[in-house]
Amino acid sequence: MKDMFVRCRALWRSSFVRNGLRSCSLKALCTRVVHDADTIFALSSGHGKCGVAVVRVSGPASGFALQSIAGFRHTLPAARTALLRNITDPHSQELLDRALVLWFPGPRSFTGEDCAEFHIHGGPAVISGVLKALGSLPGVRAATAGEFTRRAFLAGKLDLTEVEGLGDLIHAETEAQRRQALRQMAGDLARLYQDWSQHLTRCLAHVEAFIDFGEDELIENEVLNQVDHGVSQLQLQMERHLQDERRGERLRNGVQVVIAGAPNAGKSSLLNLLCRRPAAIVSPVPGTTRDVVETHLDIGGFPVVLSDTAGLRDTVDGVEREGVRRARERVDLSDVTLVMLDLTQLPKDHQSVPSFLMDHLRSTLLSGEDLRDSLQKFLLVFNKRDLLPQEQLDNIQKTIIHMEGLPPACLLSCQSGDGFDQFLRVLQNRLQTLCGDPLVGSPSLTQARHRSHLQQSLRALAQYHQYRDLDLALSAEGLRLALASLGRITGKVGPEEILDIIFRDFCIGK
Ligand SMILES: Nc1nc2c(ncn2[C@@H]2O[C@H](COP(=O)(O)OP(=O)(O)OP(=O)(O)O)[C@@H](O)[C@H]2O)c(=O)[nH]1
Ligand SMILES: [K+]
Ligand SMILES: [Mg+2]
What confidence tens digit (pLDDT) does each residue in 141-175 have?
999 888 999 899 888 888 888 988 988 898 898 88
> Which residue from 258, 267, 269 has its CB within 8 A of the most atoms of ligand 1, so it is best to mutate?
269
Contact criterion met (CB below 8 Å) for 476 and 115? no
CA-nearest residue for atom 8, ligand 1, is 266
Q: Which atom of ligand 1 is the closest one to the Cα of 281?
A: 16
Please state, in angstroms and as integers, the Cα–Cα distance from residue 69 to each residue in 38, 99, 137, 197, 443, following that order: 18, 11, 10, 47, 45
Nearest to 131 by CA among 2, 51, 40: 40
Ligand at minimal distance from the CA of 414 is 1
CB-facing half-sphere around the CA of 371: CA atoms within 13 A: 8
Q: How far is the CA of 454 from the centre of ligand 2 (A)?
A: 46
d(CA 320, CA 286): 11
Q: 69-91, pLDDT tens digit by residue? A: 999 888 899 999 999 999 999 99
Contact criterion met (CB below 8 Å) for 282 and 352? no
d(CA 100, CA 121): 9
Edge-to-edge order in the sheet of strand 255-261: 293-299, 302-308, 255-261, 336-342, 378-383, 409-411
Give the containing element (helix H, strand E) for 251: helix 247-253
Contact criterion met (CB below 8 Å) for 88 and 64? no
CA-nearest residue for atom 21, ligand 1, is 264
- Biggest distance spanned by C-alpha atoms of the chain: 98
- pTM of the entire structure? 0.73
pLDDT surpasses 60 at 13: no
CA-nearest residue for atom 14, ligand 1, is 266
What average pLDDT is seen over the chain? 86
pLDDT surpasses 70 at 7: no
d(CA 421, CA 167): 34
Provide the b/e sequence for 193-227 (b: ≥16 CB within 10 Å): bbebbebbeebbebbeebeeebeeeebeeeebeeb
Domains in the chain: ranges and CATH: 39-143 (3.30.1360.120), 166-244+445-505 (1.20.120.430), 260-435 (3.40.50.300)
Q: Which atom of ligand 1 is the closest one to the Cα of 265?
A: 19
pLDDT surpasses 60 at 12: no
Mean pLDDT, range 476-496, rounded to an integer:
83
CA-nearest residue for atom 12, ligand 1, is 264
In this prediction the ipTM stands at: 0.99
Q: How far is the CA of 288 from the centre of ligand 1 (A)?
A: 10
Lowest-confidence region among 315-319, 420-424, 443-447? 443-447
pLDDT interval class at 17 (50, 70, 90): very low
d(CA 107, CA 349): 77
CA-nearest residue for atom 30, ligand 1, is 384
pLDDT interval class at 24 (50, 70, 90): very low
State phi, psi for 281 to the nearest 5 degrees.
-75, 130
